[in-house]
Amino acid sequence: MTSYAEVVVTLPVEGRFHYEVPPHLEGALEIGHRVLVPFGRRKVTGFVLALTHEVPAGLLDKVRPIAERLDREPALERDLLQLATFAADYYLATVGEVLHLALPPGYTAASKVRWTITSAGRHFLESGRDRLPNGAFLSTSMRRLLEASVKRAVVAKDAPAKAASDLESLGLVAKKVAIGARRVGGELTVVARTVGPDQAEPHLLRSPIRRAVYEALGSGERSVDELAAEIGRRQLSEALKRLEAEGIVAKKRVALSAVGRPHAPLEGPIISENAVPPALTEAQSRALRTIVDRFDAGQGGAFLLHGVTASGKTEVYLRAIAHALEKEKGAVVLVPEIALTPQLENRFRARFGDRVAVLHSALPDAERRARWRRLSSGEARIALGPRSAIWAPVQRLGIIVVDEEHDPSFKQSSDVRYNGRDLALVRAHQAKAIAILGSATPSLEAMHLVEQQRVARIRLAERVEGRPMPAVEVVDLVEERRAVKGAMRLLSRLLSDRLREVVSKKEQAILFLNRRGFNTVVYCDECTSPRRCPSCDVSLTFHKGSNTLACHYCGHVEPFESPCRSCKSLAMQPFGAGTERVVDAVVEAVPDARVLRLDRDVTERAGELDRTLEAFRSGRADVLVGTQMVAKGHDFPRVTLVGIVLADASLAFPDFRAAERTFQLLVQVSGRAGRADAPGRVVIQTLQRDHYALQAALHHDTERFLAVESEERRRAGYPPYARMALVRIESKDKGAVERAAADVRRALERNADGIKIRGPVPAPIARIRERHRRMLMVLSPTPARLNGVLRRAKIELKKKIPRRVDLIFDVDPVDLL
């Protein structure tokens, strides 16, 4: 009886495809195996989702055999396949797209048709003739193909299929092995093989090395090492290069699993100074007990570990994971940005050593694959990383931790717009594992789950070692302006005084402002029009160091001294403050202060982030000025003052979460103050001192904030009391965007089922990189209904919307931009 496999391809293509299991793979395929399958004219990577003995009627004549099984063991276990399927469904993506982002680089490449010029082709090109050997005319596309393949040896793109196949039939070019799909797990072994040996020209083989290579490969593929063993290493690579350039020989890459194990990966040094765990506070012990009891019951469960800053949440995670490891279970730990929290990595490595695989996006591809395999094999038991670590192939998963659960970076803002925190709950549930969401400032979503009793809240209300919460002072900038009679400084009198005290006591301060650059708006002094980006609908920011105006959305940069676009005037009036101006203000207020700045402009330079953090931690600066980067979980023991330069900056955001985001930032930044022996002090400057987000942050009153904010959301019908999705429509063609937006509205209405539709309206940034953007908001009482409406509308719209218009479905958006 013939066997068939249902395969999902790693392309944005809906559905499963059926393939015949060839005799040599009979009994050798399992669900989750990675396979190479013919797909149209190409071969692509796919994953086996099911094995059957029949295919739907009508498909029998279409079914083709699987070309290859790519690994000995299934690359994906069922739980991850299940999670990928869930995510594809929930976020309106295809399983293929999800797998593409879930797997390490190289696992999902598709093969490409590539062409190399043959020696006959080269001779023809050199002859300069314009008639082909068969008398036909040499078209420009043919000439382009030939010339390009001389230059680069291989042409993948812009090779028109017709020209290429005509040239191929004349023997002027040759198809090259599709490398892509074979590029798999890590360390690739290069194997050489011949491509059409009869094309070898005698003159090429006059070299004894080339002849030897040619003859050896005539009898079958060899790795470079094997060839070296047969004919010696001398001149071997030159010979291969030449033969390859001539189209006589081609490289092929073979999956590592078919060849052998990789070398042991480097993980960096294990820091062991902290290896003795600190004693737990009573609250920590209770929290741990609760979690461990639930773990031992074996049915899973979810917790919100709601602890104030410096209450020792990390220690609870570490202990809970240690318990899981004792029971032979593994763990996933999601953190907002691993690059910003090297201490966390160090603490995990100190406690668990090589059992931790730290995953970041900055790792080289081979290293990412190596760590992925270490988890997959069970050699490493704990995966620590940003949102994509939710896809880590941890064996016998026991615990998933999401640290700083409220952080927006868990939401992916392109491709498959998934939320790592939410998928953590799903994966934990599927695996009957424990989920721990940790935060000092829980999201409204997490609190909603607590209200629904789907998540149990555990409080850590006190800081460790009985440290006090920092004292918070507010500067009302409206009053300040009155008091100084218009001579407003960026740093108020109070904040300046506090800074001076700190510097004179040899302590440290952090100043926070959520905007980089020097000025955030530059107006023309003549016609008052602001300087705007030519490609985006945003104002340009003045950067003093480089004396330029820069767009923070597309990267456009122009000299500061260029004439106004409307009136050609050169007179400019800068307004608004960014971190660069704060640095100047600090120097002005405290001339002997040593100041460092930390924002994306700084971290763009490689290594600058670590250097800056290290310089500040080691006391080589007194003041650190930065954007939210300074708000993350850094531990700077000598920081006794935190200044928030303008608390309202984020309140003005056109987003229903502006208050929540502001509150979280204020609390997180404030939490950097007074972590060691010295008590901390926070100065908040604001124009809206009565705002509830500010008042709550002032009194460390998270409960109060959550109560007010959840009432606001409930009243407005916003998440978490409704489920939201955005549909964004983008294109360079403005008219097409408007027409498509109207189509989207109609399609949603037709499929509406007790849901609210708002829009289309221009997106808050209505144009980015010349692309016009409109959006609609969809609000639904339940996720299922939301999904249904979007799904039906999407199918309907696929036929209607022109291809140059992009439709983006953003389920559970974290911002509206």
Instruction: List contacts with DNA (CB under 7 A).
Output: 11-13, 15-19, 37-42, 55, 59, 62-64, 110, 112-113, 137, 139-141, 144, 157, 160-161, 163, 799, 802-804
C-beta closer to DNA: residue 113 or 190: 113
C-beta closer to DNA: residue 263 or 799: 799
Residue 31 CB, nearest approach to DNA (Å): 17
C-beta closer to DNA: residue 145 or 602: 145
End-to-end CA distance of the chain: 55
What gap in Å lies between CA 181 and CA 36, rounded to an integer? 7
Virtual CA dihedral for 570, 574, 579, 584, nearest 10 degrees?
A: 90
Q: Which residues contact 390 (CB under 8 A, 6 or more apart)?
A: 83, 332, 334, 400, 420, 423, 424, 427
Q: Name the 3-class secondary structure at 404.
A: coil
Residue 127 CB, nearest approach to DNA (Å): 18
C-beta closer to DNA: residue 5 or 582: 5
Residue 129 burial by Cβ neighbours in a 10 Å radius (0-12, 13-18, 19+): exposed
C-beta closer to DNA: residue 179 or 370: 179
Residue 93 CB, nearest approach to DNA (Å): 10
Question: How many CB atoms lie under 10 A from the CB of residue 652?
Answer: 12
What gap in Å lies between CA 106 and CA 658, rounded to an integer? 39
Q: Which residues contact 262 (CB under 8 A, 6 or more apart)?
A: 185, 186, 187, 256, 366, 370, 373
Residue 54 CB, nearest approach to DNA (Å): 12
Please answer whether residues 428 and 420 qualify as being in contact, where contact means their C-beta atoms are separated by less than 8 angstroms.
no
C-beta closer to DNA: residue 37 or 344: 37
| Residue of 237, 530, 542 whose CA lies nearest to 550 | 542
Residue 167 CB, nearest approach to DNA (Å): 12
C-beta closer to DNA: residue 179 or 458: 179
DSSP string, 533-576: -SSSSSB-EEETTTTEEE-TTT--EEETTS--TTT----EEEES
Residue 155 CB, nearest approach to DNA (Å): 11
Residue 727 CB, nearest approach to DNA (Å): 17
Segment holding 727, helix H or strand E: strand 723-731
Please answer whether residues 60 and 20 qualify as being in contact, where contact means their C-beta atoms are separated by less than 8 angstroms.
no
Residue 110 CB, nearest approach to DNA (Å): 5
Residue 37 CB, nearest approach to DNA (Å): 7
C-beta closer to DNA: residue 142 or 540: 142
18 backbone dihedrals φ, ψ, rounded to 5° = -105, 135
Please answer whether residues 410 and 804 qualify as being in contact, where contact means their C-beta atoms are separated by less than 8 angstroms.
no
Residue 535 burial by Cβ neighbours in a 10 Å radius (0-12, 13-18, 19+): middle
Residue 786 CB, nearest approach to DNA (Å): 23
Residue 777 CB, nearest approach to DNA (Å): 24
C-beta closer to DNA: residue 505 or 804: 804
Rg (CA), the chain: 30
Question: How many CB atoms lie under 10 A from the CB of residue 375?
Answer: 23
C-beta closer to DNA: residue 638 or 771: 771
